């Protein structure tokens, strides 16, 4: 077991690159199953979730290799259609392989996925979409058994703009006959990135970033390269770290337009921001103040994944900040740990009320999920004294060597194994 030890109170300063998006690279790795050739994925972060996806692809019979920030996937040798429970339980997004395997082989057997315990995240939207396209699906002893002699295009209206259901439907539709139209589709930038990859394969897909996505199934190219977009949640976390520490930091290799709701909030808190074409500069040398109420919503609203680190940055802001979590019901699991550091937070249902305190103090705390763990890092950087964070494996799922990144900005931080 590892812990991260932070001696807080140091102002962060310097420049740092933002690595590729976890929530983009995982569906693209699944989409590589459709290619029947080699895919080279660039800007691929070194994350435990990516490692889990590599193990899944290898189990399915693909040839997979990593070389620095590049991952090579050759799916010509795909032979298996099952993913066992021990691999599925490693990450929630493992269900994204369902549509691609079914479209390629005509059958797929998966167990129920794992991941952070943030409350119910049913996959019924994924299954109903695949059924509409002609799949026969049964649940057998905790496994999902899907079969389809031939998938066909159709119109699918999602009851909720689910990112995973939108992606799974796009993957399955890429190899089926006819045209598939997804309405009430998720609009996240990661959907656009998946569309970009599928277009490189020869799929006629358009509409990503809007509530209507249209896919005409066709795969024309077997081997190709793709560059993953930068991770907007990692960028939001680094901005929160700078704000909490009173630092001045430049992010490079970022897409500022993907972060407009986050930068708007930080600006209201009193941070100075300069947005370039691929850079964001933040200066937090002035006292922070409470922002307007922050409600998480599907993109382009305020992202639920950015709520924990921004909450941590607001703990010592003057005034009261109200958070309303509309996506996950258990998204406040980090609050109990922040209270141990002297935070003043009251929660009731989906609402959290943060009253700013003069200072936080270091404490032994534990990460219980990915973004909650990020919030603990943010809080520890701005606290007085030493904080030791356990449960680091959660943080490893979404941040590529964040300890070295923060150390490069001047943080007194150390990972102990």
305 annotated to a ligand binding site: yes
Strands (E), 24-174: 38-42, 63-67, 70-74, 82-83, 107-111, 136-140, 143-147, 155-157
92 annotated to a ligand binding site: yes
285 annotated to a ligand binding site: no
How far from the centroid of its chain's Cα atoms is residue 414's Cα?
A: 25
Helix residue ranges per DSSP H, 60-188: 85-88, 97-105, 124-132, 163-173
What is the maximum span of the chain, computed from C-alpha positions, in angstroms?
Answer: 64
CB count in 10 Å sphere of residue 214: 19
26 annotated to a ligand binding site: no
Nearest to 96, CA basis, from 236, 197, 224: 197
The one-character DSSP state at 302 is B
327 annotated to a ligand binding site: yes
Non-local (6+) Cβ contacts of 284 within 8 A are 242, 243, 244, 245, 246, 247, 248, 270, 271, 272
122 annotated to a ligand binding site: yes
Query: Which amino acids are annotated catalytic?
Result: 116
- Binding site residues, as ranges? 22-23, 92, 121-125, 305, 327
- Binding site residues for UDP-N-acetyl-alpha-D-glucosamine, as ranges? 92, 121-125, 305, 327
- Binding site residues for phosphoenolpyruvate, as ranges? 22-23
């Amino acid at each position: 077991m590892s812990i991260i030890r932070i001696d807080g109170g140091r102002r962060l300063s310097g420049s740092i690159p933002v690595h590729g998006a976890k929530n983009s690279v995982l569906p693209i790795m699944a989409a590589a199953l459709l290619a029947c050739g080699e895919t080279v994925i660039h800007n691929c972060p070194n994350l435990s979730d990516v490692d889990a996806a590599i193990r899944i692809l290898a189990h399915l019979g693909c040839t997979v290799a990593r070389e620095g920030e590049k991952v090579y996937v050759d799916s010509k040798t795909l032979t298996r259609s099952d993913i066992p429970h021990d691999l599925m339980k490693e990450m929630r997004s493992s269900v994204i392989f369902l549509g691609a395997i079914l479209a390629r082989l005509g059958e797929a057997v998966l167990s129920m996925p794992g991941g952070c315990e943030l409350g119910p995240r049913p996959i019924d939207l994924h299954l109903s979409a695949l059924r509409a396209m002609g799949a026969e699906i049964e649940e057998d002893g905790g496994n999902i058994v899907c079969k389809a002699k031939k998938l066909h295009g159709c119109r699918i209206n999602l009851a909720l703009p689910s990112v995973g259901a939108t992606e799974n439907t796009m993957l399955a539709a890429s190899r089926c006959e006819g045209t598939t139209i997804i309405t009430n589709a998720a609009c996240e930038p990661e959907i656009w990135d998946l569309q970009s990859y599928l277009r490189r394969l020869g799929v006629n897909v358009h509409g990503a970033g809007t509530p209507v996505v249209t896919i005409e199934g066709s795969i024309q190219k077997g081997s190709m390269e793709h560059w993953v977009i930068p991770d907007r949640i990692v960028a939001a976390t680094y901005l929160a770290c700078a704000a909490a520490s009173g630092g001045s930091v430049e992010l490079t290799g970022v897409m500022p337009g993907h972060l407009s709701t986050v930068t708007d909030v930080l600006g209201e808190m009193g941070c100075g921001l300069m947005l370039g074409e691929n850079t964001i500069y933040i200066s937090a040398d002035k006292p922070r103040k409470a922002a307007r109420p922050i409600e998480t919503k599907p993109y382009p609203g305020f992202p639920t994944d950015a709520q924990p680190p921004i909450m941590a940055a607001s703990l010592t802001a003057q005034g009261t900040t109200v958070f309303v979590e509309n996506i996950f019901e258990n998204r406040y699991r980090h609050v109990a740990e922040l209270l141990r550091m002297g935070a003043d937070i009251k929660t009731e249902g989906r609402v959290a009320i943060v009253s700013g305190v003069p200072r936080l103090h270091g404490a032994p705390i534990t990460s219980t999920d990915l973004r909650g763990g990020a919030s603990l890092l943010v809080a520890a950087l701005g606290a007085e004294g030493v904080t030791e964070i356990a449960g680091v494996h959660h943080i490893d799922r979404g941040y590529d060597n964040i300890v070295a990144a923060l150390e490069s900005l001047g943080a007194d931080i150390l990972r102990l194994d």
